[in-house]
Amino acid sequence: MSEQSVDLLTPVLTRNWGDERAWKLSNYERVGGYAALRKALKQTPDELVNLVKDAGLRGRGGAGFPTGMKWSFVPKDNPNPTYLVINADESEPGTCKDIPLMMASPHTLVEGAIISSYAIGAEHAFIYVRGEVLHVARRLQQAVREAYSAGYLGKNILGSGVNVDLVIHSGAGAYICGEETALLDSLEGLRGQPRLRPPFPAVAGLYASPTVINNVESIASVPCIVDNGKEWFSSMGTEKSKGMTIYSLSGHVKRPGQFEAPMGITLRQLLELAGGVRDGHKLKFWTPGGSSTPILTDEHLDLPLDYEGMAGAGSMLGTKALQIFDDTTSVVRTTLRWVEFYKHESCGKCTPCREGSWWLVQILLRLEAGEGVEGDIEKMLDLCDNIGGRSFCALADGAVACVTSAVRYFREEFEQAYHTPAWELFPYGRSALFASSKEGANA
């Protein structure tokens, strides 16, 4: 099956997004929807776990942990019920793939949820969707109602004896709830704060019971694997990063949007499809997978966008959220705005993250204003050293990744910030996507 040439773009999950009323059950069934569920119900749960494992599907929420392996960690002898929790809290800055998926084709996720629940032995599944996306909540709620009426959810699904209940749960505004253990606390009706691990959720997750938490895109990828087989899935992608995935291009590109491609496509190829960077401008820096992944520059255009390729460049594939910034953009300003985000979203549990992100903002504010003082760069890096890796969860690591990588590639711009405001070096109006009436105005 190997190395036949695979097309540059391979729409699978996005295939029906352009269809008329793609979100309706009947339209999803018309393009083959729920065939995978019927097929899956004829297999044993173990066969399904192995199928997903062998296909090489890795978590699409950022960490890239093998999905089938995660499933296999659920203990078989635990007396408590097993739960499936789908992380639909998409909030990582730059990330915008799960929301359109659930809006256009919620049944892809619902079908994946049912199959995955059966595979791990869960009779209860939850989709934890961030609160700030009203129309997505509507479409999901409706899809679940339709699936119940069709006998795809509830008791004795399609006469198989399998029971699955699925609840759509809207969050209430907290980035931290995308962190899986904070999500569990939130789903238990608590403040969303990360838990100490171990125990891991597979053993003691929701209600201290065995729980699998997967990203939307991971679960949505399950039906096509069941439908088409592991060889088909792994014929796309690279050695260790298999299958197709959704890449999101945003920012200073001519045509931003979603591109579903085999793992390992390069930014150069994606940029070409997106019409390139804005006319008259050059790429300055970009994130491979949201703001928590260290930024890269034009020297990294030809690296494969897979887990290994990005790790090799000192970054991470993350959520494949490619935020593109051109040469009009101030690195100092952008870094400040990212760190302000982490400061706002720090849940407050761990001192290094809660206090450190606040102090980083203080330094970056004066740097933006051109009022940095000698030693600020070193002080920032020192702070970063004391934040990253010293907190319960990865929010802290994300908060410093943008700082350390920005200094790595653009140190001279931070030095200029000792004397010149960022808005003088890079008049902000020039970065806007609309013609600005007051170019250079200090926001």
Partner 1 sequence: MSGSESGPQHHFASHFADSGGVDFSGDQSTNITEETREELRQIAARYPQARSALLPMLHLVQSVEGRVTPAGIEACAEILEISTAQVSGVATFYTMYKRKPMGRHHVGVCTTALCAVMGGDQILSDLQDHLGVGNDETTEDGKITLEHVECNAACDFAPVMMVNWEFMDNMTPDSARELVDKLRADEEVTSTRGATISTWRDAERVLAGFDDGRADEGPAAGPASTLGLEIAKEKGWQAPAVPAEAPADAGQEEK
Which of positions 222-241 make contact with partner 1 (CB under 8 A)? 227-229, 231-232, 235-236
Query: Which amino acid belongs to residue 239?
Result: E
Cα 236 to chain centroid, rounded: 20
Interacting positions 9-38 with partner 1 (CB under 8 A): 9-12, 14-15, 17-24, 31-32
The three-class DSSP label of residue 23 is coil
Q: Does 427 bind partner 1 (CB under 8 A)?
A: no
Which bin fits 203, alpha (ψ -120 to 50), beta or left (φ > 0)? alpha
Q: Does 359 bind partner 1 (CB under 8 A)?
A: no
Please report the DSSP string for 93-147 in residue order.
TT--SHHHHHHH-HHHHHHHHHHHHHHHTEEEEEEEE-TT-HHHHHHHHHHHHHH
Interacting positions 88-147 with partner 1 (CB under 8 A): 90-96, 98-100, 103-105, 124, 130-135, 137-139, 141-142, 145
Nearer to partner 1, 34 or 72 (CB): 34
The three-class DSSP label of residue 419 is coil
Binding-site size for partner 1 (CB under 8 A) equals 113
The interaxial angle of helices 376-387 and 351-368, nearest 10 deg, is: 160
Nearer to partner 1, 71 or 325 (CB): 325
Q: Does 403 bind partner 1 (CB under 8 A)?
A: no
Q: How far apart are CA 25 and CA 29, in angstroms?
A: 6
Which helix or strand (DSSP H or E) is residue 310 part of? helix 307-312
The total number of residues shown for the chain amounts to 443
Interacting positions 153-192 with partner 1 (CB under 8 A): 167-175, 186-192
Nearer to partner 1, 72 or 383 (CB): 383
- Asked, as a colleague might, if the bond just before 11 is cis with ω within 30 of 0, I would say no
Q: Does 373 bind partner 1 (CB under 8 A)?
A: no
**Binding piece for partner 1, criterion CB under 8 A, among 110-118, 382-390, 412-420, 427-435:** 427-435
Interacting positions 246-275 with partner 1 (CB under 8 A): 247-252, 255-261, 273-274
Nearer to partner 1, 92 or 180 (CB): 92
Which helix or strand (DSSP H or E) is residue 305 part of? none
Interacting positions 309-338 with partner 1 (CB under 8 A): 321, 323, 325, 329, 333-334, 337-338
CB of 58 to partner 1, least distance (A): 18
Q: How far apart are CA 296 and CA 141, in angstroms?
A: 39
Interacting positions 284-303 with partner 1 (CB under 8 A): 291
Interacting positions 379-398 with partner 1 (CB under 8 A): none
Q: Does 400 bind partner 1 (CB under 8 A)?
A: no
Structure tokens at 402: 């943008």
Interacting positions 201-220 with partner 1 (CB under 8 A): 207
Structure tokens at 90: 């998409």
Q: Does 414 bind partner 1 (CB under 8 A)?
A: no
**Cα-Cα-Cα-Cα dihedral sign, residues 179, 184, 187, 192:** negative
